[in-house]
Amino acid sequence: MVGKILHVLNREISGLHEAAYLLGFFTLLSQTLGFLRDRILAHTFGASVELDMYYSAFRIPDLIFVSVASIVSVSVLVPFIIERLEKSELEIRRFLDSIFSFFFLFIIVVSAAVFIATPWLLHMIFPGIANSENGSMFILMTRIMLISPILLGFSNLFASIAQAKHRFVSYALSPIFYNIGIIVGVIFFYNRLGIVGLALGVVLGSFLHFACQLFSIRKPIPSFRLFLDFGIIKNVIGLSFYRTLALSGSQISTLILIAIAARLSSGSVAIFNFAWNLQSVPLSLFGVSYTVALFPTISRLFGAGKRQKFLEEMTIAVRHITFWSVPVIVLFIVLRAQIVRTVLGSGNFDWTDTRLTAAALAIFSVSILAQSLILLFVRGYYAGGNTKKPLIINFLSAVLVVVFSFGFLKLFRESDFFRYFVESLFRVSEIVGNEVLMLPLGFSVAMIINASIFWFYFARRSPNFSPQANKTFFEVFSASVIMGFISYKLLNVFDNIFNINTLSGIFLQGFISGIIGIVAGVTVLVLLKNKEIKEVWATLHHKIWKAKVIVPEQESL
């Protein structure tokens, strides 16, 4: 039995679409658990002070993770590991042992320092929560969650080894176990330990995430050594330095948005995070899945000097990310209320919370394609060892996120015309706290500008890129508009058929309207003889679960 499980975790998948769809399938399972997690949180707390505190407690551990743990990130380590796997076992072991040992010492020191400084940091960033009657609990939750970046960092290290060998199953499964841990924390730990139990659930999820990766790599397994190869460490840090700055800038901008939300009406942080989590579903399904599946391939192609093939693979990924993302954007905008009410509408999460979260989701959704393409373009630069350009562009984007969010917030408060326009467009007039919508608006505008800059630079390197990508975009956009129009009209039809005051009624209203709209959109794409839909059908026809698998050599257990 153990051997069968390890065999599944060690499967090597060949083919971009097969790997992407496999990752997408498991991502869908993970996001389903994420829906359950968020529904339980919404049911238990609603958009409340408690949930604001819970989500705010993530921010400092998340910042540590994207900064310190970026040393062992997949995008940094995979090219190094691939290069050494092709040399000798001694080379790869010396490399992994040095990175493992250095990261262990570094993350422990940083986490210990932040643990001591936590009260000061929280009073500076979230003064409203830290100075409230829940301040001591807020500090305790943040300190407990500091264990999470340590575990997730090691998980990333092991995931890098697995992905270098085209083993994606464990990477796809680990977020599922992460969500299971959080759900356990909400259902069991919270009832016994109060809100601090939620933090323990996050730690449990991080441990399960790490354990899943640990059991997948089999060998070589890194080990701790006191005498480090500082030449190796210098090379990795040199490559990861700019990536760390870029990710840290992005994380800091998000931290600032959360800090702004914490200063708005009660529940604003929860609204922001609920909408963020929902829009992250298609981002993970399509943007992350294709990016993760493609990265080992383009790393090898670039390393082998096959630049034209590298550009071709990137273009294919852009076309297919566009193919999946554009229809989702339209559906999320049209069906936003049905999606939010189905996923979160329970218990203390009332209709006011639903309307605000749905509006925030619609605004976030506008930038789903942009966010997905940014992930892909950044990985493309990393595959070629270029980390400076992504740093500059992403740093600019991080600044724009904050500038636009502040700007839109100021405009919303001072311009009656702009405020009435936004309130009317998203049907949130007279709802207290609707100014929180300016945060996702600022974020989305900045992401679209960011993706446009990357697009411009990539198109300069590949003359055939823009014509192919634009053709896909306009075909899919045309079909999506028709799909969205039909779905919107059907909502009114099914409003008179189903009882939309019930979970089943609101779900069926949105689901059937969306399905019929999707059928119409697919029909349009078939009539247009869309290239991507033919490629998708060919991939599905080959049966992903029976895709070519490179079986690893048997080893004694």
Two tokens, residue 54: 């819970």
Summarize the confidence of residues 294-322 as an average pLDDT: 79
CA atoms of 429 and 365, how far apart (whole Å)? 21
CA atoms of 105 and 191, how far apart (whole Å)? 36
Residue for token digits 């059928």?
519
Above 50 in pLDDT, residue 553? no
| Biggest CA-to-CA distance, the chain | 72
pLDDT at 419: 92
C-alpha 358, offset from chain centre: 19
pLDDT confidence band for 547 (50 / 70 / 90): very low
The answer to whether the beta carbons of residues 39 and 186 sit under 8 Å apart is no
pLDDT at 335: 93
Where is 318: in which H helix or E strand? helix 307-334
pLDDT confidence band for 22 (50 / 70 / 90): low
The answer to whether the beta carbons of residues 19 and 165 sit under 8 Å apart is no
Two tokens, residue 362: 């619609």
Backbone φ and ψ for 13, nearest 5 degrees, come out as -105, 130
CA atoms of 251 and 292, how far apart (whole Å)? 20
Start-to-end Cα distance in the chain: 12
Between 535 and 474, the higher pLDDT residue? 474
- Phi/psi region, residue 555 (left: phi>0; alpha: psi -120 to 50; beta: rest), is beta
Two tokens, residue 64: 């540590």
pLDDT confidence band for 552 (50 / 70 / 90): very low
pTM of the predicted model over 0.85: no
Condensed to tens digits (0 to 9), the pLDDT of residues 161-193 reads 766 665 656 666 788 888 899 999 988 998 888
Name, in order, each residue with C-beta under 8 angstroms of 355's C-beta and a sequence gap of 6 or more.
337, 427, 428, 431
* Per-residue DSSP letter, 348: T
Cis amide prior to 282 (ω within 30 degrees): no
Two tokens, residue 487: 């779905």
Summarize the confidence of residues 371-389 as an average pLDDT: 80
CA atoms of 510 and 342, how far apart (whole Å)? 9
CA atoms of 91 and 139, how far apart (whole Å)? 43
pLDDT at 166: 58
Where is 163: in which H helix or E strand? helix 147-164
pLDDT at 541: 59
Name, in order, each residue with C-beta under 8 angstroms of 64's C-beta and a sequence gap of 6 or more.
107, 110, 111, 114, 146, 149
CA atoms of 76 and 65, how far apart (whole Å)? 14
C-alpha 51, offset from chain centre: 20
The answer to whether the beta carbons of residues 77 and 240 sit under 8 Å apart is no
Condensed to tens digits (0 to 9), the pLDDT of residues 228-273 reads 667 767 777 766 666 666 666 677 888 889 889 988 888 889 999 9
What 3-state class would DSSP assign to 427? coil
Lowest mean pLDDT among 161-165, 360-364, 415-419, 464-468: 161-165
What 3-state class would DSSP assign to 82? helix
C-alpha 431, offset from chain centre: 29
The answer to whether the beta carbons of residues 50 and 137 sit under 8 Å apart is no
pLDDT at 549: 34
pLDDT at 435: 93
Above 80 in pLDDT, residue 15? no
Summarize the confidence of residues 324-348 as an average pLDDT: 90
Kindly report the CA angle at 253 between 247 and 259, in degrees rounded to 5?
A: 135
Backbone φ and ψ for 550, nearest 5 degrees, come out as -90, 110
Q: Where are the domains of the chain?
A: 49-266
* Per-residue DSSP letter, 17: H
Above 90 in pLDDT, residue 556? no
1-15, 94-108, 500-514, range with greatest mean pLDDT:
500-514
Q: What is the dihedral of CA 145, 279, 299, 456, to 10 degrees?
A: -130
Q: What is the dihedral of CA 365, 369, 375, 381, to 10 degrees?
A: -150
Which residues is 550 bridged to in the sheet? 12
Two tokens, residue 146: 């500091």
CA atoms of 400 and 449, how far apart (whole Å)? 9
Residue for token digits 């979260």?
357
100-109, 126-135, 343-352, 473-482, range with greatest mean pLDDT:
473-482
CA atoms of 407 and 403, how far apart (whole Å)? 6
CA atoms of 78 and 156, how far apart (whole Å)? 11
Above 50 in pLDDT, residue 13? no
pLDDT at 171: 65
Name, in order, each residue with C-beta under 8 angstroms of 231's C-beta and a sequence gap of 6 or more.
none
The answer to whether the beta carbons of residues 294 and 379 sit under 8 Å apart is yes
Burial class (CB in 10 A: 0-12, 13-18, 19+), 159: buried
